[in-house]
């Protein structure tokens, strides 16, 4: 086989592979198969983790439930990127788990100012309001998630379960 023939054959094989891959992708999209993602579903700026070592270390600390270290690292990252809603949400989550609810609410509020449709911030703020016994405010965040998540999303389901558990635990009635 000549060099030109081999190149033509290789190009045809590559095109066939690409066409099969594209067809598979189209079928997956049509039937609703989730595509792989390397970030959390609620992250709005997934590239920020790769570009900031403190952000990455903060996420590792979260995974290890080292809330103090997570808050420290996320605060360092936020000094460089103060308008990152994901960072503000993770700061709120870290402070909530440290029991510092005032700081948590402050960061959830900032995350939602930056991105009013931030699913994670709505979920976590709702859970924090349940911690202080404010069911009405938790339900406001649940209502926001219902508007945001046109299809069921993890954050909506999680907050619904948390509110149901809160109602059962406290005997609180159903919302109107």
Tens-digit pLDDT profile for residues 117-158:
999 999 999 999 999 999 999 999 999 999 999 998 999 999
> Using the 8-state DSSP alphabet, how is residue 35 labeled?
P
Give pLDDT tens digits for 64-109. Answer: 999 999 999 999 999 999 999 999 999 999 999 999 999 999 999 9
The length of the chain in residues reads 176
User: Is the separation of the CB atoms in 90 and 73 below 8 Å?
Assistant: no
pTM here? 0.72
The average pLDDT across 14-35 equals 42
Q: In terms of pLDDT, which residue wins out, 70 or 6?
A: 70
Task: Please tell me whether residue 175 adopts helix, strand or coil conformation.
Answer: coil
The rounded distance, in Å, linking the Cα atoms of 18 and 166 is 51
What percent of the chain shows pLDDT beyond 90? 66
The rounded distance, in Å, linking the Cα atoms of 97 and 52 is 23
Q: Could you give phi then psi for residue 172, rounded to 5 degrees? A: -65, 140
Tokens standing for 102?
């005032």
pLDDT of residue 27: 41
């Amino acid at each position: 086989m000549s060099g030109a023939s081999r190149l033509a054959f290789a190009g045809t094989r590559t095109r066939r592979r690409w066409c099969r891959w594209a067809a598979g992708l189209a079928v997956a999209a049509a039937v609703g198969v989730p595509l792989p993602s390397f970030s959390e579903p609620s992250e709005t700026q997934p590239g920020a983790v790769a570009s900031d070592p403190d952000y990455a270390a903060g996420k590792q600390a979260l995974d290890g439930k080292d809330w103090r270290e997570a808050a420290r690292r996320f605060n360092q990252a936020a000094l460089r990127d103060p308008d990152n809603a994901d960072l503000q949400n993770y700061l709120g989550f870290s402070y909530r788990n440290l029991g510092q609810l005032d700081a948590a609410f402050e960061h959830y509020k900032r995350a939602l100012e930056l991105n009013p449709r931030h699913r994670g911030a709505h979920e976590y703020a709702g859970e924090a309001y349940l911690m202080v016994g404010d069911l009405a405010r938790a339900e406001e965040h649940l209502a926001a998630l219902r508007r945001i998540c046109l299809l069921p999303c993890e954050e909506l389901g999680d907050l619904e379960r948390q509110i149901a558990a809160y109602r059962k635990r406290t005997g609180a009635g159903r919302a109107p």
